[in-house]
């Protein structure tokens, strides 16, 4: 709603007013209407977000100038906004008296038991994640098998008789039908389940409370949705959603209850707080990666790279345990499913197949080639992200109604099938069907008997199988034209697909595109030199290309290297894969951010990166903090508290608690910090001083009451406080955190940032020399600053 | 010198006075003399360490009672002491005005350049570490080859002629000679270079300033020493020292100068502070691991597990880069050395050889066996540590003179050779010498022609080769008796060897012991069942045994798993290795700490673990802090400063800077923090207010002056301050850190610990409600508390 801007002047930029129009993000077009509408409703809106030391009138002018000046140049989007709707998770324990009393009561043995429970939970998380992966795999295999069999029979029937358009129609209809259901449940039931879920999990681990992201409903929609979309033949993978699924499972299992199902097992109550929950969600995400790629170490690294702000040996070890259990469970149940119990050859959903060391060793002179391929991957990845970025903006503006989203998804499914059909139809790349062919559904079409259509091995198959074929099929299986055409079409299809309202991952399509052009590179190399044996196997180049493309799109670093190495099952490729990913990242970052970061940015999420922007030493806490702050007295009138909480224009979540020292003339000193959620529980249980006196036998409020309410605290509106009660007093001493972290006003932004990020804070109180509250730093105050093309830039805050 | 104890009462332990005698560590025997001597020199000694709120007289009584009561029960050692001689590294940037001005002056491009320099430095670190590894490898191979050839010829000569005792003498003489030199340089030139260096690097990364640990001299002694000790036939490996070597290189390269060689390249000056240096040392340690085991990912994880308190994506990626370059360099130069340029088959110093997947796949029913082997490894590891622990205490007490140390090392070398000779001599295990035998120096001895002595393959070889033979030699190469005897003797030899004054690692001996009994397990399993094919390859069990034994001794977790997996080059073994390491750690931890932690503890190092002890919520900052604190005024008399710094009884390193507000009655408020090192630079440059006024043209003190003095700041005694100058004033405003982190007095210990550990602090100021300094928390205040067998225990502080 309100959109409050603030200018910061940089010495490096002389002409501030002139530059502002170019750099300040704009709100116009469809997005602009809302802020303007709000603005007319009076000056109150400016109390919504945060007030700074800057004059308000000035701000309004600036913004209006901006939108007026910028309109002809910039197309509207919300990349440079920071939404105020996201709350923060609290990764700092609220060490109030209740908590400390509980901790002090606990014996050493009790802590041991807790530790053991943590291991048990991690084991459970791993096991269940493995089971879900297994379920998805089997369901997809069965349904896709059914579909391909049906279509293949149909095609065989009509190839000779003519009328292949009927086959096409069948294919299109089947795909659209599947995708329709996959899209309907996502768009109408749980929109947060769309996409791979990786950006959402990144945000969660970063400390942003993304609404409904770890709920049971999301999990169900995610799992069913991904089955439909993969079976529907979209250019998607089933790997990304596994990470989200693992995380949801972890959040559920670790709490020992399901709020959705209204079932409380009365176990693991100690873990009902953000700090502990995050650790388990990390484990869940890792278990998901592990099940998806058969990469337990990669899973751990993924969790750490995305989530951990503080590395803890035991935590890491537990996460690794969950990962191992997960891949093992999947492996075990799939081995039973494949009627080879005990043969553990399917550690992940995607199986790169076995790379034999001898056949595929690389030589020193190939390394520059690999690096060049990395650069290509980086460039293509940036192009992919660029296209997807504009597509997403288009979707935000025009395709936001659920039924439109479903229709778009169906359209993509139909187009995918049609394109695939046309490509296969016109392809003349016939290959002999060897005795040991690995194709599940070889299409003969117009090829001679004993031969099959090579294009069909890439299109007429689940993407996972196509990747494997590209890696391992012997030299000569594909001709260059097939690969080139396939790369081109699949690139655009995958780009169009990502961001649809279906549950689907981008890993496999990226790998497939990369494997196709990588293999093409290998074939071209072999054809340019006379000694073909020098470039032994095009499969090797397919692998490098796949790594380059994936790296260029998602820009993960260490974790992706390890995931790729583990998925190939061969350490030999460590160095080339690392070089390729590094090059792809450097080249890609030059043009455009990674796909996940882009989507996080487009969601206006207050995401905290690893470090404060390098050039932000100019700013101090005084400038970044929100002020003035609504403070509460240690013994406060209930009416005041209710009014403060009910004030929709502020909607604060943390309140410094202050105490008046001597007389009214001197400002109050900080003595604690209390959260909205705590106050709500207190109000609900009517913990008022007068009541406590009159009813001495009344049960004392315990930590358990707070835990029972976690994480869905009721809104203030649902709590009825009578007029008499409003006159009562509340003593916050016992419930507030008496030792909140504080910083002096002059602390530089990087220093504030470091403290905030390293400890996973939600509120950081800024105090003056006399320990008086002067401001409050929250996540959005820090996430606002980022390095743009012209130095430090500031995002606008918006109530979108 | 002084030894100040403090009692804390626990509610969980009823009888405090009764329990104290048993749990309080003691100082008697030879260690006790010093504290007592100091104690008689007056009450001043009690100002040395830290004064608490507890009464002093009570403490003295307690201690004397303890020593009187405990003497008959406990043998003297210093495990439960915390030395005050270790200073802390400062991983928190000192953001004073000078620093902020510099940062603010820097453009975005300058930060880019810094980032590029960081990459260049990491590349250099990796390259040089690889080169050193290469040098060590080639030197050891050449010299050991020479030695074995000489002895073999001699043995062959005397086998038939009789008089093999001459061969034994030759062997003993050669070994002792080598070890003598290796030991002399360590014992007389640089004692810190003894052992593997891993505990020292762990301490450094943890934030403890271990004197001389990252100096050039240490590196030279380390490298030369390890060559001598491996060639000298000791039961040691050359892998551990690589980690230390990499770290020293990193510390040197990143500073762009060598203080020892008095050479300043005037580059990388920005990196001359603890914060930046630590990051590079992490990279160096990782590069060392990577070169040692061919495990780049394992190296990164090692650095993170041991060092990182805060995970940063770019830092991790840089560390990974250094690791990759390091293993690649080693690989490349070794391939040239082996006349196969470009064939990258030697990624590390230890090469486990190629494990073929088909031959060595494991079955589900083998997993319980692996876990059982893990338990055995944990038990044996704990026993190893237990023996080594007592041996180390013995050494601390009786073998502390350098010449004694050299003699002990020579004795061990002689005994090792003798035992090996006797074992080989009496062994009757003859094996046929196949056409493709891998033995470098097969000894025939009393075997028939065309056969060789099997015991000799384990003893008459470098340990690395022996490990490889145990992993890969075909079934039937060793008989059970040989392996059993070898395990037994080598176990005790390795245990005796670790802790000698030689530069040597414990990884390879551990692997060798484990591989021997692991292979024995494999052979026994095969012999108990009729279907020998079920337990296909004893090499598989050798690998599991090696992992179990190593895990049982060093107790590393994720990093060791990845190192083992990378060294085997086969991801298939991920799950069993992880299970084995986990079991070994759980079983081992039940009995005894890991070897490195044990040695850190014996060194009385104030090492901060990941988290505060679980049951420490009882304690608050008020109880753990040092108080009273020596504070300085913002404008302070030079004389006062000099006196404060010269006071040898306090020897503080950080001083809160305070400002008097209104009148003398009110206590001073905190306004900053200044370090001893900064004050010394200020005094050296005579930055006095009066001088600045009189000589207006004087060059202003810059950050560069501090950087030039880093890290070897002169002692206060070397700075001459005249009587006139003593009357001058110094203005600390510009140099102090104006925004030190603070905590209120009531903050619980875990909360203080978390802040301190996560941000890598050196000083944490404790303030009251009015922002007045009441105490200072430093590393030793936090490291003192640990969980013992009877709950929370407190270590004694000692000036040893």
CB contacts under 8 A, B 614-633 vs A, are: 614-615, 617-618
**pLDDT tens, position by position, A354-405:** 776 555 677 778 889 999 999 999 999 999 999 999 999 999 888 888 999 9
pLDDT of residue A565: 85
Contact A575 B328 (CB under 8 A): yes
Rounded Cα distance, B798 and B84, in Å: 6
**pLDDT tens, position by position, A603-649:** 888 998 888 888 888 899 999 998 888 899 988 899 999 999 988 77
**pLDDT tens, position by position, A526-560:** 887 765 555 567 888 999 999 999 999 999 888 89
**pLDDT tens, position by position, B687-744:** 887 766 666 545 578 888 888 888 888 888 888 888 888 888 888 988 999 999 999 9
Tell me which chain A residues have a C-beta less than 8 angstroms from the C-beta of B111.
614-615
Tell me which chain A residues have a C-beta less than 8 angstroms from the C-beta of B738.
744, 746
Put simply, whether A206 touches B (Cβ < 8 Å) is: no
Three-state SS at B81: strand
pLDDT of residue A530: 62
> Is the pLDDT score of A41 beyond 70?
no
Nearest to A571 among B569, B754, B759 (CB): B569
State the nearest Cα–Cα gap between A303 and chain B, in angstroms.
Answer: 11
Tell me which chain B residues have a C-beta less than 8 angstroms from the C-beta of A562.
297
With a threshold of 0.80, does the pTM exceed it? yes
Contact A610 B104 (CB under 8 A): no
CB contacts under 8 A, B 107-126 vs A, are: 107-108, 111
Contact B313 A557 (CB under 8 A): yes
pLDDT of residue B266: 80
Rounded Cα distance, B584 and B371, in Å: 8
Instruction: Between A415 and A566, name the one with better pLDDT.
Output: A415
Mean pLDDT along residues A287-298: 91
pLDDT of residue B42: 36
Joined tokens for residue A172: 């299109």
Joined tokens for residue A214: 């770890």
Put simply, whether B610 touches A (Cβ < 8 Å) is: yes
Residue A40 class from Cβ within 10 Å (0-12 exposed, 13-18 middle, 19+ buried)?
Answer: exposed
Rounded Cα distance, B643 and B647, in Å: 6
With the C-alpha atoms ordered B317, B322, B323, B327, is the resulting torsion angle positive or negative?
positive
Tell me which chain A residues have a C-beta less than 8 angstroms from the C-beta of B582.
317, 321
User: Strand (E) positions, B388-461?
Assistant: 430-432, 451-453
Joined tokens for residue A492: 């655009």
Nearest to B103 among A344, A611, A617 (CB): A617
User: How many helices and strands (H and E) does chain B possess?
Assistant: 30, 18
Instruction: Between B749 and B574, name the one with better pLDDT.
Output: B749
CB contacts under 8 A, B 660-679 vs A, are: 669, 671
pLDDT of residue B628: 84
Contact B342 A364 (CB under 8 A): yes
Instruction: Between A88 and A691, name the one with better pLDDT.
Output: A88
pLDDT of residue A429: 76
Mean pLDDT along residues A585-609: 90
φ and ψ at residue A796, rounded to 5 degrees? -90, 145
Q: Where are the domains of chain B?
A: 141-235+362-607, 621-798
User: B621-798 belongs to which CATH class?
Assistant: alpha beta
Contact B95 A748 (CB under 8 A): yes
Three-state SS at B144: helix
**pLDDT tens, position by position, B359-379:** 567 777 888 999 999 999 999
> Is the pLDDT score of A35 beyond 80?
no
Rounded Cα distance, A754 and A759, in Å: 8
pLDDT of residue B547: 95
pLDDT of residue B312: 77
Q: Give the strand pairing for A635-637 and A430-432.
A: unpaired
Mean pLDDT score of chain A:
81
State the nearest Cα–Cα gap between A771 and chain B, in angstroms.
Answer: 6
Interface test with B, best of A295, A563, A575 (most B CBs within 10 A): A575
Contact A324 B572 (CB under 8 A): no
- Alpha helices by DSSP H, listed for B271-366, are 274-293, 296-306, 313-337
pLDDT of residue B424: 85
pLDDT category, B24, cuts 50, 70, 90? very low
Put simply, whether B748 touches A (Cβ < 8 Å) is: yes
Whole-number percent of chain B with pLDDT over 70: 84
pLDDT category, A576, cuts 50, 70, 90? confident
Q: What is the CA radius of gyration of chain A?
A: 29
Put simply, whether A21 touches B (Cβ < 8 Å) is: no
Contact B310 A562 (CB under 8 A): no
Contact B93 A578 (CB under 8 A): no
**pLDDT tens, position by position, A653-690:** 899 999 887 655 566 889 899 999 999 998 888 888 77
Contact B615 A108 (CB under 8 A): yes
pLDDT of residue B800: 59
pLDDT of residue A533: 55
**pLDDT tens, position by position, B32-49:** 333 333 333 333 333 333
Contact B304 A296 (CB under 8 A): no
Closest listed residue to residue B798, CA positions, set B82, B88, B34: B82
Q: What one-character DSSP code corresponds to residue B186?
A: I
Q: State yes or no: cis peptide before B628, omega within 30 of 0.
A: yes
Contact B308 A311 (CB under 8 A): yes
- Check if the beta carbon of residue B385 is closer than 8 Å to that of residue B594: yes
> For the residues of B228-264, what is the DSSP string, one character each?
HHHHTT-S-BSSHHHHHHHHHHHHHHHHTEETTTTEE
Rounded Cα distance, A377 and A549, in Å: 4
**pLDDT tens, position by position, B100-152:** 888 888 888 898 899 999 999 999 999 999 999 999 999 999 999 899 888 88
- Check if the beta carbon of residue B76 is closer than 8 Å to that of residue B397: yes
Whole-number percent of chain B with pLDDT over 90: 35
pLDDT of residue B696: 54
Whole-number percent of chain A with pLDDT over 70: 84
Put simply, whether A570 touches B (Cβ < 8 Å) is: yes
Q: How large is the ipTM?
A: 0.86
State the nearest Cα–Cα gap between B382 and chain A, in angstroms.
Answer: 20
**pLDDT tens, position by position, A134-173:** 999 999 999 998 998 888 888 888 877 777 888 889 999 9
Q: Among A165-179, A213-227, A441-455, whose mean pLDDT is lowest? A: A441-455
Does the domain formed by A141-235+362-607 have CATH 1.20.120.450? no
> Is the pLDDT score of A282 beyond 70?
yes
Interface test with B, best of A23, A104, A294 (most B CBs within 10 A): A104
Contact B357 A354 (CB under 8 A): yes
**pLDDT tens, position by position, A682-739:** 888 888 877 666 665 456 788 888 888 888 888 888 888 888 888 888 889 889 999 9
> Is the pLDDT score of B67 beyond 70?
no
Rounded Cα distance, A491 and A496, in Å: 9
Interface test with A, best of B104, B371, B747 (most A CBs within 10 A): B104
Pairs of CB atoms within 8 A across A/B: 203
Interface test with B, best of A91, A298, A364, A764 (most B CBs within 10 A): A364
> Is the pLDDT score of A133 beyond 90?
yes
pLDDT of residue B113: 92
Contact A582 B103 (CB under 8 A): no
Joined tokens for residue B359: 């031959």
pLDDT of residue B433: 72
pLDDT of residue A435: 60
Contact A755 B759 (CB under 8 A): yes
| Residue that has been written with the tokens 């439960």 in this structure | B80
Mean pLDDT score of chain B:
82
């Amino acid at each position: 709603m309100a959109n409050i801007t603030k200018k910061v002047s940089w010495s490096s930029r002389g002409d501030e007013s002139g530059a502002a129009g170019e750099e300040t993000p704009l709100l116009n077009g469809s997005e602009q209407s809302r802020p303007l509408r709000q603005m007319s409703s009076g000056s109150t809106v400016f109390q919504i977000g945060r007030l700074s030391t800057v004059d308000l009138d000035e701000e309004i002018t600036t913004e209006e100038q901006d939108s007026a000046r910028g309109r002809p140049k910039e197309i509207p989007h919300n990349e440079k906004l920071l939404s105020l709707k996201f709350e923060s998770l609290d990764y700092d324990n609220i060490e109030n008296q209740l908590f400390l009393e509980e901790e002090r009561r606990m014996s050493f043995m009790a802590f041991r038991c807790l530790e053991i429970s943590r291991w048990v939970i991690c084991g459970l998380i791993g096991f269940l994640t493995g089971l879900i992966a297994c379920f998805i795999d089997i369901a997809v295999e069965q349904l896709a098998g059914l579909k391909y069999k049906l279509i293949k029979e149909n095609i065989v029937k009509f190839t000779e008789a003519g009328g292949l358009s009927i086959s096409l129609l069948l294919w299109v209809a089947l795909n659209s039908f599947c995708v329709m259901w996959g899209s309907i449940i996502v768009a109408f039931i749980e929109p947060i389940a769309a996409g791979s879920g990786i950006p959402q999990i990144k945000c969660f681990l970063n400390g942003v409370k993304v609404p409904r992201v770890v709920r049971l409903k999301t999990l169900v929609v995610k799992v069913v949705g991904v089955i439909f979309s993969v079976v529907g033949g979209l250019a998607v993978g089933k790997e990304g959603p596994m990470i989200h699924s693992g995380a949801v499972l972890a959040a559920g299992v670790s709490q020992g209850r399901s709020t959705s199902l209204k079932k409380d097992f009365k176990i693991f109550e100690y873990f009902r707080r953000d700090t502990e929950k995050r650790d388990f969600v990390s484990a869940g995400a890792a278990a998901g990666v592990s099940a998806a790629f058969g990469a337990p170490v990669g899973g751990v690294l993924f969790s750490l790279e995305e989530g951990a702000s503080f590395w803890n040996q035991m935590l890491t070890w537990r996460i690794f345990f969950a990962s191992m259990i997960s891949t093992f469970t999947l492996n075990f149940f799939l081995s039973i499913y494949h009627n080879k119990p005990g043969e553990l050859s399917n550690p992940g959903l995607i199986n790169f197949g076995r790379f034999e060391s001898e056949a595929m060793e690389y030589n020193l002179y190939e390394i520059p080639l690999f690096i060049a391929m990395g650069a290509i991957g980086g460039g293509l990845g940036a192009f992919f992200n660029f296209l997807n970025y504009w597509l997403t903006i288009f979707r935000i503006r025009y395709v936001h109604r659920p039924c439109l989203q479903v229709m778009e998804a169906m359209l993509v499914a139909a187009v995918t099938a049609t394109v695939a059909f046309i490509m296969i139809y016109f392809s003349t790349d016939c290959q002999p069907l060897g005795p040991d062919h690995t194709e599940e559904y070889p299409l003969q079409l117009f090829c001679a008997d004993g031969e099959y259509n090579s294009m069909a091995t890439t299109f007429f198959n689940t993407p996972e199988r196509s990747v494997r074929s590209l890696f391992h099929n012997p030299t000569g299986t594909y001709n260059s034209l097939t690969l080139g055409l396939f790369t081109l079409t699949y690139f655009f299809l995958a780009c169009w697909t990502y961001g649809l309202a279906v549950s689907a991952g981008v890993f496999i399509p990226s790998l497939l595109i990369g494997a196709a052009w990588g293999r093409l590179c290998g074939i071209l190399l072999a054809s340019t030199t006379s000694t073909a044996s020098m470039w032994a196997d095009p499969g090797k180049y397919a692998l490098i290309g796949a790594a380059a493309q994936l790296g260029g799109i998602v820009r993960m670093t260490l974790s992706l290297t390890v995931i790729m190495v583990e998925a190939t099952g061969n350490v030999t490729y460590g160095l080339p894969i690392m070089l390729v990913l590094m090059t792809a990242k450097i080249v890609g970052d030059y043009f455009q951010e990674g796909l996940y970061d882009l989507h996080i940015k487009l969601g206006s999420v207050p995401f905290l990166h690893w470090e404060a922007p390098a050039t932000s030493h100019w700013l101090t806490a005084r400038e970044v903090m929100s002020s003035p702050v609504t403070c509460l007295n240690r013994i406060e009138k209930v009416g005041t508290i209710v009014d403060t909480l009910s004030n929709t224009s502020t909607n604060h979540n943390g309140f410094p608690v202050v105490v008046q020292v001597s007389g009214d003339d001197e400002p109050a000193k900080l003595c604690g910090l209390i959260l909205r959620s705590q106050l709500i529980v207190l109000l609900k249980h009517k913990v008022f001083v007068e009541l406590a006196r009159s009813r001495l036998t009344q049960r004392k409020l315990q930590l358990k009451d707070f835990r029972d309410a976690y994480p869905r605290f009721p809104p203030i509106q649902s709590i009825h406080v009578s007029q008499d009660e409003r006159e009562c007093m509340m003593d916050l001493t016992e419930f507030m955190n008496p030792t909140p972290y504080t910083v002096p006003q002059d602390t530089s932004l990087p220093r504030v940032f470091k403290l905030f990020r390293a400890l996973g804070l939600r509120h950081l109180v800024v105090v003056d020399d006399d320990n008086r509250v002067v401001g409050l730093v929250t996540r959005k105050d820090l996430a606002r600053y980022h390095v743009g093309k012209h130095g430090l830039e500031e995002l606008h805050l918006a109530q979108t």
